[in-house]
Amino acid sequence: MREALISLSEKDYWVYGLNERDFDYTLDLVLEFIESNQAKVKKEIETAKIDYPEEDIWCEIQSDFAHYAWLNEQYFWQFYLWRIQGIFERLILYIFLPEQPT
């Protein structure tokens, strides 16, 4: 068994890996995170409106929640761009570059 494992190469076991479907999957993942974040913020704003009925205080709290929601969404989009870059680099490596030096 050990001899078989020692001689095992990546071609023999690499079942997963990146492909074109990862673009859509990553976008769907980010959009789900953003929707979840927006739903959470909406719920927090409604709770704050009940807890602080004074309009001045509630408006300030709403503004803070909206700002931090926007900031979180920027982090999600930055993750998306970072992940898309990684997918492009990996696909270029596997599609265009030779596996063995020529």
Q: What is the pLDDT of residues 78-88, one digit of tens each?
A: 999 999 998 88
Q: Kindly tell me if the per-residue pLDDT of 14 is higher than 90.
A: no
Q: What is the pLDDT of residues 35-66, one digit of tens each?
A: 999 999 999 888 888 888 888 888 888 889 99
Q: What is the CA radius of gyration of the chain?
A: 23
Q: How confident is the model at residue 10 (pLDDT cuts 50, 70, 90)?
A: low
Contact (Cβ atoms closer than 8 angstroms) between residue 24 and residue 89:
no
pLDDT of residue 77: 95
Write down the residue that tokens 């709290």 correspond to: 61
What φ, ψ does residue 61 adopt, rounded to 5°?
-65, -45
Q: How confident is the model at residue 6 (pLDDT cuts 50, 70, 90)?
A: low
Tell me the pLDDT of the chain averaged across its residues.
Answer: 82
Cα dihedral 70, 40, 47, 59 in deg (nearest 10):
10
